[in-house]
Copies of this chain bind each other. A is one copy, B any other.
Amino acid sequence: MTNRVFLGLVHYPVYNKNMELVTTSVTNLDIHDIARCAMTYGLLKYYIIHPAQTQQRLINEIIDHWQSGYGAIYNPDRKTALDLVDLQPTIEKVREKILGEYPGTLFTIATDARIYPNTVSYKKMREMIHTSEQKNYLLLFGTGWGMAKDAIAEADIILEPIYGVGDYNHLSVRSAVAIILDRLLGDK
């Protein structure tokens, strides 16, 4: 695989449980769990997307603790994974940043628990990533109750929901990230 895969965790625009447009707070374990997944599956960057500067400061403090504070000595594996983390205020800024560094084609891939007309299977997406060359793929995950419809509509590709057994599919975003990275990039 010579393609470049990036991940963005979206805190705005997302829905709350009443399907109202909100900005969610950052969850500490979202930073760690997803950074470790991103590292395991060879992603180039893990963007935490949040518009508020106060939240960005909080995230930076957490990262600092593990990067250069006591945490770096206590658990170097976390430090390595957090090297991948980058904070950006909007999805658009993330796209600019990637294209600035890696000019060319950038596919934005949305993930959602709902189905859309342009929904693509994991098998198809995996093939795309592994057979095309020198392209950029940005996987977006929504926090809260999922990414806003408008943001999803702007994506080039939408991944199908994760089906387990039966009707229940209320996975945490952390679990969804782990499963989707494994389906698309795991050693099969």
Give A175 Cβ to nearest chain B Cβ, in Å. 4
Output the nearest chain B residue to A164 by Cβ-Cβ distance: B40
Indicate whether A162 reaches chain B with its CB closer than 8 angstroms.
yes
**Given A42-B164, A169-B40, also A179-B174 (CB < 8 A):** no
Please state if B32 and A172 are interface contacts (CB–CB under 8 Å).
yes
Contacts of A64 in B (CB 8 A): none
Chain A, residues 144-188, CB within 8 Å of chain B (1/0): the string is 000000000000000000111110111110111111011101110
Please state if B185 and A183 are interface contacts (CB–CB under 8 Å).
no
Which DSSP category, helix, strand, loop or mixed, fits chain A's interface?
Answer: helix
Please state if A40 and B170 are interface contacts (CB–CB under 8 Å).
yes
The oligomer's copy count stands at: 2
Please state if A186 and B171 are interface contacts (CB–CB under 8 Å).
no
Contacts of A169 in B (CB 8 A): 40
Contacts of A77 in B (CB 8 A): 168, 170
Indicate whether A36 reaches chain B with its CB closer than 8 angstroms.
yes
Indicate whether A86 reaches chain B with its CB closer than 8 angstroms.
no
Please state if A164 and B81 are interface contacts (CB–CB under 8 Å).
no
Please state if B162 and A81 are interface contacts (CB–CB under 8 Å).
no
7 nearest CB pairs, A to B: A42-B165, A40-B164, A175-B178, A77-B170, A163-B187, A178-B178, A41-B164
A-B contact pairs, 23 of them (CB 8 A): A1-B165, A29-B29, A33-B175, A36-B170, A36-B172, A36-B175, A37-B171, A40-B162, A40-B166, A40-B168, A42-B164, A42-B166, A77-B168, A80-B168, A81-B168, A164-B182, A164-B185, A165-B185, A165-B187, A175-B177, A175-B178, A176-B178, A179-B182
Residues of A within 8 A of B (CB): 1, 17, 29, 32-33, 36-37, 39-42, 74-75, 77-78, 80-81, 162-166, 168-172, 174-179, 181-183, 185-187
